[in-house]
Structure 1
């Protein structure tokens, strides 16, 4: 991937601190976007020094999101989606995928990054079935009780909850926090999550832990790698969707969750560091 040149002068919206990296903007930089600042690219460069293929982490996660949302809209027939930590708009956003199959499908995005909120609200101004909510995605009660969420989503009917590339930024007991969401959702609902993964492999774990130290010590200040067991505990009691034909219903690497075609090359080291789960509430 060709590296973009930083602009000579960057416009900073009111209320945005350009000296503090944010999750959404670092992710945007990794995807080759333009809505990020020097501090965000600095965090990405620090990670690239440990894992030169770090952008592949972001792309594997993004492609997983697209496939998972398409699966839920088409195969599971879901028409309600709550996308937590939606990030900056890019190609194939959740609402675009859902509404391709369900014109009146409802999507509520949740974020608290002012840049994300500004871009999201501008993008969605003419979309009557999609809304952006400002809230803390790690406060389940605050999100599920938000007036826009309760007005737009019917919490008595199955819906999809997305926590894609978000939960590794929660430093405490992530499974306990997520119970605040999962216990409220009705039977037939799905949860989609992806998470930085410690592959528990002697050849890979040292690099994963170096990346974790970079993330935690950077201007972003978060990015905890968890093991397979720790991530699967988040959806305990839910039915994990098998990540492919003849595969066990367990956590998968993002790059290997129902790929659109055969994998024609070996996975890179970096692609082993992002796990994902799609699970259904019985």
Structure 2
């Protein structure tokens, strides 16, 4: 999945099979490339807001994917060079490329782990070195929950991470969502056939459950292309499937 997203974002770290699967996906859902790009812009807006307006200096990026232009550490370290970022992914290619990009950045690390293994992540030596859990942390779950099957309880995973974070921390979540059962089924079946183990497209209500007990920042939970868009960004086009989510603050 990380390599498919890389190709859809115009990257070169992918194989022929990834490109083939991505082209088939675009035939099925022509707006998918636009969804990936708007999601990238959402991440940039969200983490910059948390760094600039809420003073967050620590970020845990779950399911980070392959490095691309304006990665989380680049956005937040423009605000504060000492801001710290942990990228978490189990894909060996993500690990290799991420470490090559970050080898000269002492405030950033890539951890190879399953995003659902919260104990391993929180106990990892690099996480312990860089993150002070007594202070606010932003935990990112961007375009990763739909990759996780219900058996691993992805919504519960977000809540478990949130419970470990200090008050004043934040959770950033978005995942593929549709209110049309047929659309959910078609895209879910395609992705499972293309990448093997995958989760599913979920409803807005299911995504909203990630934020139970949190204070959700304005404008609430939305199609992320309409989450605080900046001047010059195109308004969201109507789609039957979109990335739905937002940013919640832990009390």
TM range (shorter): over 0.9
Moved more, 87-96 or 134-143: 134-143
| Equivalent in the alignment of 1:269 | 239
C-alpha contact 2:89 2:114 (8 A) present in aligned 1: yes
TM-score of the superposition, structure 2-length normalised? 0.94
User: Which structure dedicates a bigger proportion of its chain to helix?
Assistant: 2
Moved more, 134-143 or 87-96: 134-143
1:189 offset after TM fit, Å?
A: 0.2
1:207 offset after TM fit, Å?
A: 3.4
SS at match of 2:54: coil
SS at match of 2:105: coil
Give the count of matched residue pairs.
249
C-alpha contact 1:51 1:207 (8 A) present in aligned 2: no
SS at match of 1:82: strand
In the alignment, structure 1 residue 196 sits paired with structure 2 residue 176: yes
In the alignment, structure 1 residue 222 sits paired with structure 2 residue 198: yes
Which ranges of structure 1 fall in alignment gaps of 5 or more residues? 1-22, 244-248
Q: What is the CA–CA distance in structure 1 between the aligned matches of 2:101 and 2:201, rounded to whole Å?
A: 33
1:177 offset after TM fit, Å?
A: 2.1
| Equivalent in the alignment of 2:229 | 259
Q: CA RMSD in A?
A: 1.6
In the alignment, structure 1 residue 40 sits paired with structure 2 residue 18: yes
Distance 1:107 1:194, change over 3 A: same
SS at match of 1:218: helix
Distance 1:223 1:31, change over 3 A: farther
Distance 1:119 1:264, change over 3 A: closer
SS at match of 1:110: strand
Moved more, 207-216 or 167-176: 207-216
| Equivalent in the alignment of 1:16 | none
SS at match of 2:141: strand
Distance 1:128 1:264, change over 3 A: closer
Which ranges of structure 2 fall in alignment gaps of 5 or more residues? none
Q: What is the CA–CA distance in structure 1 between the aligned matches of 2:75 and 2:233, rounded to whole Å?
A: 23
1:262 offset after TM fit, Å?
A: 6.7
Of 199, 221, 231, which residue of structure 1 is paired with 2:207?
231
1:69 offset after TM fit, Å?
A: 0.7
Query: For 1:235-274, what per-residue CA distance to the aligned partner results, in whole angstroms no more than 9, with x for missing partners?
Result: 210111112xxxxx3x21011000002765561426x421
TM-score of the superposition, structure 1-length normalised? 0.84
Question: What are the within-5 Å matches in structure 2 for residues 98-109 of structure 1?
Answer: 98-109=76-87
Q: Which runs of 4+ in 1 moved over 4 A?
A: 262-266
Of 173, 183, 194, which residue of structure 1 is paired with 2:163?
183
C-alpha contact 2:184 2:202 (8 A) present in aligned 1: no
SS at match of 2:67: coil
Q: Which has the larger radius of gyration?
A: 1
| Equivalent in the alignment of 2:139 | 161
